[in-house]
A = this chain, B = another copy of it.
Amino acid sequence: MQSAPAIQKLLDELERLPGVGPKSAQRMAYWILNSDRATALRLAEAIAEVKDTVRFCSRCFNYAEGDLCEICASTKRDQGILCVVSEPRDIPPIERTAVFSGVYHVLGGALSPMEGVGPDDLRIAELLARLASEPVTEVVLATNPNIEGETTAAYLARLIKPLGITVTRPASGLPVGGDLEFADEVTLGRALETRRPL
């Protein structure tokens, strides 16, 4: 295909983005070419700005613009309940539920012997230091409900329970609004095992 080198370079860079193949890269590139200069440069600047200003929160390792992330800096959060997640990207979905008002701790991954990720590769020492110095009474282990996440939660539960802190994990079960007919057997099995009295 005959493309100007600058366009080809833009296509190559766009295709690196997750979920972007050649066709969508081309649609985006033409949108950028067609849009006015200011609009296109706002996107370029937003990318540069995020790399310049965003780092890890010194306390919970969420993304932050200052020393602390917006959640750690807030005076409205319950400091007694701490939610452990694998990655910063796991925080926004939990925040959107508006059910959790505590603080977070980002591990930076999950235990995975297959991929050579051990306890020392995660921010577990930092978590234990926080539990020793902060007034935490409950830790919610919100790692993913897959093998690595379950392993990580089991490992952390063993470490934290002896400290006299309540350890919980979000329930697994049927998605709200879903059809029982279409549930996978593992989820349905888990939902039956953990059935609750009404």
Binding site for B on A (CB under 8 A): 1-7, 9-10, 12-14, 16-20, 24, 26-33, 37, 39-51, 53-54, 63-65, 69-71, 74, 87-89, 91-92, 95-96
Secondary structure at the A interface, as helix, strand, loop or mixed, is helix
Q: Which of B3, B10, B89, B95 contacts A47 (CB 8 A)?
A: B10
With A and B bound together, what is the CA distance between A51 and B7 in angstroms?
A: 10
**Closest 10 A/B residue pairs (Cβ):** A44-B47, A10-B46, A44-B44, A13-B43, A13-B46, A4-B65, A30-B89, A44-B48, A2-B70, A6-B53
Q: Check if B50 sits within 8 Å of A7, measured CB to CB.
A: yes
Q: Check if A51 sits within 8 Å of B40, measured CB to CB.
A: yes
User: Which residue of chain B lies nearest to A96 when distances are taken between CB atoms in the complex?
Assistant: B1
Shortest Cβ distance from residue A96 to the other chain B in the assembled complex, whole angstroms: 6
Shortest Cβ distance from residue A137 to the other chain B in the assembled complex, whole angstroms: 23
Q: Check if A49 sits within 8 Å of B92, measured CB to CB.
A: no
Q: Check if A95 sits within 8 Å of B1, measured CB to CB.
A: yes
Q: Check if A43 sits within 8 Å of B31, measured CB to CB.
A: no
With A and B bound together, what is the CA distance between A53 and B20 in angstroms?
A: 24
* A to B CB contacts below 8 Å, 15 in the list: A2-B92, A2-B95, A6-B65, A7-B50, A9-B46, A9-B49, A10-B46, A12-B46, A14-B43, A29-B50, A30-B87, A33-B63, A40-B51, A41-B51, A44-B45
With A and B bound together, what is the CA distance between A63 and B33 in angstroms?
A: 9
With A and B bound together, what is the CA distance between A132 and B3 in angstroms?
A: 28
Q: Which residues of B contact A9 (CB under 8 A)?
A: 46, 49-50
Shortest Cβ distance from residue A175 to the other chain B in the assembled complex, whole angstroms: 16
Shortest Cβ distance from residue A144 to the other chain B in the assembled complex, whole angstroms: 15
Q: Check if A32 sits within 8 Å of B44, measured CB to CB.
A: no
With A and B bound together, what is the CA distance between A47 and B31 in angstroms?
A: 11
Q: Check if A63 sits within 8 Å of B13, measured CB to CB.
A: no
